[in-house]
Structure 1
């Protein structure tokens, strides 16, 4: 038997009108009441797709504060551009909100009064669950979590293609600079890296894998990691880096230490940001359709008034440039 708003009212002690306003995220209720009602709806199995949200007029683009920096902006600024272009075509107003786990997230969202929410990049599970209590349709971009609708580039295939390219180029000691493994995208890229090594019957040397934490001195830590790798008795002759900013820093560190790229060490990045093609030598990278990610995220919201557990994956492409082969 399906759960009705009247069932929720009887179970919680709130009126039918209060239940309806809470689930539709209308004004006039405290956050505590709203969260209590939404939690009860989830626990009792109320079908949120019953709610009539109507035409989307406003979308909020949420970005975690750890991504709201110069290092991440070459990627997420283009994703945001894709979202903005799709919203403009559909006549939807777009607002940008940078959020963090220690902030009053729901209050920030409510100021913008969105009809739907796009979350780009990594978010803590607890933060996403809190955002979901708004009852608004949500889509995760470049992030995946069971129970949430999401769209991602094929991170695992990208890691595989990058590493396979280095193997086919004759590299024997391939290292990887990754980021925090709590991030879905990084987990997948590491899986692809290891899968390519396994299929080539090459040993994945744990000493060649270094995870760079996200913090203010990230560039300094990348330089130190590369310096440490090159100081090994058998240093890597190739590096797959989990994003282009890391790859560019790694390449500059190698050049500063007197190595020739790609003669002494080959390097491949991920994301194919604009700076990759302009580097000297130009950086090989896994190209991600960043605008396409943003546009498809909006399209998923438009196609499904209350999207539920949909997962979409976009193709990626290896772009070979001078950082990984002697001639292109």
Structure 2
């Protein structure tokens, strides 16, 4: 006979051949399942002696906004501050208290989560595989924002399209040597933005040159890493005449370096970022960027947890190209009309 105290929802899902979300819906009596699937899950739960009392019914009593300390504090990362605001809005509307916690590699994540006594987890940003497994072992409803993990509901913006739009804008404006600055390629959003960048080059018939694609040095502080990346691009035998940066902050750091080298933006080198943070509007010159509704990312994810919509899937929110002074092409010199050939 099965040990009733040791059966987990993960084991029950594996035995039934369904996702954890499907098991949760079946045991809570929520809609969206066939009667055959619901009956199968309930039968296997009874066979294994699963304690149905482990699952609370209805909306969560408390939600935890969980992010990795790897991305820095919320104060130093404006993007995630907007996501937090969106999640807070959804929780306030539903009357669900929202807690906040950062974690880092090597910590007892499951133990830290238990101390918050929450019913649902909203994971934001990149988590390494080891951290993700620790989060999954908490056996709480989970939705991820700005990340992807198999078997989990994820909410992202259309990263690949956004990077493609940004790079195409630079190419269409006449840029000949378009460079890119990226963060760690292990991050889901960064890897997709790199794909969008390369796709735009390919479709424009440009050969991909790895020298014009640099990544931030993880050993440096964030601002120093952005400046260092731009220094490396300017040290190339032929410096780029346009740069796509994977986020706005990195683009702003790059513009700083170019001005220190006596380069004019956009006359000598053009820039476009990603995220449309508030600083992008006030940078000098104002920064072109790819805009997405950052608060909507948190709002959609939190509402999914509140409504119990945690089936594995990926929601992709739309993006928009925002053109400002930093990427505008210099006006072409007027050309004399072509002479008609004499007959």
Pick the TM interval, shorter chain.
Answer: 0.7 to 0.9
Query: Which stretch has the larger CA shift, 272-281 or 210-219?
Result: 210-219
CA distance in structure 2 between the aligned counterparts of 1:161 and 1:272, rounded to whole angstroms: 14
Does residue 97 (structure 1) correspond to residue 68 (structure 2)? The answer is no
1:239 maps to which residue?
A: 243
2:318 maps to which residue?
A: 315
CA distance in structure 2 between the aligned counterparts of 1:58 and 1:45, rounded to whole angstroms: 29
TM-score in terms of structure 1 length: 0.86
CA distance in structure 1 between the aligned counterparts of 2:320 and 2:309, rounded to whole angstroms: 31
Count of matched residue positions in the alignment of Structure 1 and Structure 2: 298
Deviations 1:74-129 (A, max 9, x none): 11011001100110011000000101121011111111111111000000122112
Which runs of 5 or more residues in structure 1 are unaligned?
A: 1-9, 23-36
CA distance in structure 2 between the aligned counterparts of 1:41 and 1:246, rounded to whole angstroms: 45
**C-alpha root-mean-square deviation of aligned residues, in Å?**
1.9
1:179-328 map, 5 Å: 179-303=183-307, 305=308, 307-326=310-329
CA distance in structure 2 between the aligned counterparts of 1:139 and 1:308, rounded to whole angstroms: 9
1:40 maps to which residue?
A: 11
Tell me the SS of whatever aligns to 1:188: helix
Greater Rg, structure 1 or structure 2?
Answer: 2
CA contact (8 A) 1:269 1:283 kept: yes
Deviations 1:108-159 (A, max 9, x none): 1111111111000000122112211222110000111121110001000111
1:106 maps to which residue?
A: 110
CA distance in structure 1 between the aligned counterparts of 2:309 and 2:138, rounded to whole angstroms: 13
CA distance 1:327–1:74, shift in 2 (3 Å):
farther
CA distance in structure 1 between the aligned counterparts of 2:147 and 2:107, rounded to whole angstroms: 21
Deviations 1:293-313 (A, max 9, x none): 00000121233x261212100
Q: 1:51 aligns with which of 5, 8, 27?
A: 27
Q: 1:65 aligns with which of 62, 65, 69?
A: 69
CA contact (8 A) 1:59 1:95 kept: yes
CA contact (8 A) 1:272 1:288 kept: yes
CA distance 1:70–1:116, shift in 2 (3 Å):
closer
